[in-house]
Chain A
Amino acid sequence: MRALTRRDLLKVSAASGLAPALGLGSAVPAQAGEQLLVVMWGAAWIDVSRKIVDAYVAKTGDKVAWELHAGGAMAIVAKIKPAWPRVGYNLVSGWDPVFRAMIKEDWVVPVTLDEMPALRDIPPVFFQKDDKGQLMTVPLSTSGAFWGYRTDLVDKPIESIEQLLEPRFKGKLCVPFPVNLTGLLMLTLAMQRGGNEHNIEPGWQFLKELAARGQIGRVINNNSEFIDAMSAGETSVAFFNIGAWTQVRKQFPVKILNKLKDNKGFLFNEGFAVIKQDDPNKVAAAKRLANHFATPEINSQYNWPLGEGPTNPKSKANPDIADVFYAPDELPQYAYIADFDYMSTQVDAWAKRWEQEIAPLIRRS
């Protein structure tokens, strides 16, 4: 008598519909397509991305697994480095300074308008480029970082961040650790006192005053911590990115201080980078998916709940964010594009200075 082979078992179980239940194989032919691993932010970002991708997967047969950023997006760079070139990521979501670091390390595949037709609509200024001028990123959102506050928790309006030194804000400020947002906190404080990226010292002096007076109640590292701190009402004033502010604005009255007379808001782009892989089919599938996110309809769908501006001019922006972003004539007065290339070379020194000078002041205040 012939022994039952694995093949026999599969045949029988497939016929009876048992195989899927046993996890032995599929009763229907497997869909063609590539398995992709995409790194995405948590909170609203992963929720909207999952919705978009579920429909995409059903249509194309490509499969997508997700991994979430742990901490700031820059952490992914430190995660890829020791594993390179054996990394499984196909697409990594990030923003300008993270992309600059990844391009420097030569981990990113250039993208072309021929392969990704949706990119034709996106203004060239939004792309990060390499030394040869090749497009290296897929810009999906125009985002920004601003000061803001919960109007239900602050008694009088804030017109200048100099007011944050007032006793009423003791323990009420939520600020990012200086490596987060590549040090934009330092820059906004420096600009308040007449400095800039290259003259950051006034920012440190301002920060020392805030820390010594006990104004800083929470130091955050990512969107989730920010949303948690601001939603719980643990802190009422903060400086962070507009995507995270939007999540708080859904639940609480918030005033975004994007048009301060004596300071500016910061603008930058978020999107995808396609990661180098040996398998050209995987790279092509990653580009297909990134292109899908950049198409007008999907770009609207993606940015709408995030409260960020779509990069595709054919997309519709969420009307709720009309007050957050600037009209073209307002840009010179209120908006600032930071020199992230320079700032990314400073974050190590800034992080150490924070640890040596600021954190002890906060701890003792």
Chain B
Amino acid sequence: MTRPLAKPRISLFHAALLAPGVLIVLVLFVAPIALMALESFRPFVTGKVGSGSGWTLRNYAELMEPAYAFYFWETFRIGFIVSATALLLGAPLAFLAARTRRHRLRVAIFGLLIGLLFMSLIARLYAIQMTWGSNGPLAFFGTLIGVPARSAPYAAIQVALGLLHFVLPMVALMLVGTFQNINPRLEEAAASLGAPRWRVALTVTLPLAVPGLLSATMIALAMCISSFVVPLILGRGIVLFATNLMYVRFSDVANYPSGAAIGIIMLGLAALIVYAMMRLTRALAGAGAPS
């Protein structure tokens, strides 16, 4: 019979060690968000900068207009598509980097991914605009797939492309660690028992990589939905993310309470999605664990 593990107790010494870190987290992360949450319940006085006195739910009520659901949907929809695409493209690249015995190939993959990270995102976005923009040499591609280069859906495609540039290197680099941590002998054992390579990948490697894949997706999604500069440059003012709405509220009309309300709603939605994905990760990890 095994004794149940006792709950770890935090001693005074441990609490003292934790205190500086907790304090930093409180001051740097929790306090600004708490202040923003309070601001979101303040009234906005027309023609003034910032918020007035008193409390109101009006800033949230305004965002219940159906039109705003579209912006949140657009933000998350493009975010999900880009995260999934980054996973599809990044996973094979990461697997190759983790498993290849060819040193030069590994260096080339790492060089490409790290090089992309170091290259200014702004430069990459303008390069996309010059190449794929409505006057760019590859704009005809839009027409080929039935999306005219000056149309709004084409702007959405460009935003997705920009976000992919942003998140793909991160996703691939994160997944290299995931694949490196999977013992290659498990794959070799499956292969030695006669399983073809595709089956090894689907039944051995993939289930073991699920937690890493979901973590990478979650981080990619967080990067996408919080991106401001990508829709700003490539969205042509037509594809707007929730971040762009927030910027207009805070910066252009100085309506801080309304901007704060959008921020809090985004935070709530993101927390819900993270929670759902963590539950999914646990469920899949449990299902994939060897019995």
Which residues does A use to contact B, with CB under 8 Å?
70-72, 74-75, 77-79, 81-82, 101, 104-105, 170-172, 177, 179-180, 214, 216-221, 225, 229, 232-234, 344-349, 351-352, 355-357, 359-360, 362-365
Contacts and interface: CB of A to CB of B under 8 A. Distances in A.
Contacts of B253: 74, 179, 347-348, 351
A232 B133 contact: yes
Contact of B248 (A179, A216, A349): A179
Contacts of A101: 49, 254
Contacts of A77: 49, 254
Contacts of B134: 171, 217, 234
A72 B252 contact: yes
B245 A355 contact: yes
12 contacts: A75-B251, A79-B251, A171-B134, A219-B236, A219-B238, A221-B252, A234-B150, A345-B46, A348-B253, A355-B68, A356-B68, A363-B70
Contact of A360 (B50, B70, B135, B148): B70
B20 interface: no
Nearest to B44: A348
Interface string B236-254: 1111100001011111111
A234 B135 contact: yes
B237 A355 contact: no
A233 B135 contact: yes
Interface in B48-87: 48-50, 62, 65, 67-68, 70-71, 74
A344 B49 CA distance: 11
9 shortest A-B CB distances, which residue pairs? A219-B237, A171-B150, A345-B47, A356-B67, A75-B251, A179-B252, A78-B254, A81-B49, A348-B253
Interface of B: 44, 46-50, 62, 65, 67-68, 70-71, 74, 133-135, 148, 150-152, 236-240, 245, 247-256, 258
Given A81-B50, A234-B134, A348-B44, A180 B252 contact: yes
A362 B151 contact: no
B46 to A, nearest CB: 5
A36 B70 CA distance: 45
A105 B251 CA distance: 16
Contacts of B240: 355, 359
Contact of A104 (B47, B65, B250, B258): B47
B44 A105 contact: no
Contacts of A225: 237
B47 A365 contact: no
Contacts of A81: 49-50, 254
A345 B48 CA distance: 8
Contacts of A219: 236-238
Contacts of B47: 104, 344-345
A75 B252 contact: yes
Contacts of B236: 217-219, 229, 234
B252 A360 contact: no
Nearest to B48: A104
Contact of A177 (B44, B48, B74, B248): B248
Contact of A364 (B44, B152, B248, B256): B152
A269 B138 CA distance: 42
Contact of B49 (A72, A105, A220, A233): A105
A218 B238 contact: yes
Nearest to A76: B251
A273 B57 CA distance: 36
Given A78-B254, A180-B252, A351-B252, A362 B48 contact: no
Q: Give the one of B44, B135, B239, B248 with max A CB within 10 A.
A: B248
A346 B245 CA distance: 17
Contacts of A356: 65, 67-68
Nearest to A180: B252
Nearest to A179: B252
B56 to A, nearest CB: 14
A40 B258 CA distance: 28
A362 B252 contact: no
A365 B148 CA distance: 12
Contact of A78 (B46, B71, B250): B250
Contacts of A105: 49
A349 B87 CA distance: 41
A356 B47 CA distance: 21
Given A79-B251, A348-B253, 11 more contacts: A71-B247, A71-B252, A171-B134, A216-B238, A221-B252, A232-B135, A349-B46, A351-B252, A355-B67, A363-B74, A363-B239
B93 to A, nearest CB: 33
B67 A360 contact: yes
Contacts of B245: 355
B46 A348 contact: yes
A185 to B, nearest CB: 12
Contact of B237 (A79, A104, A221, A365): A221
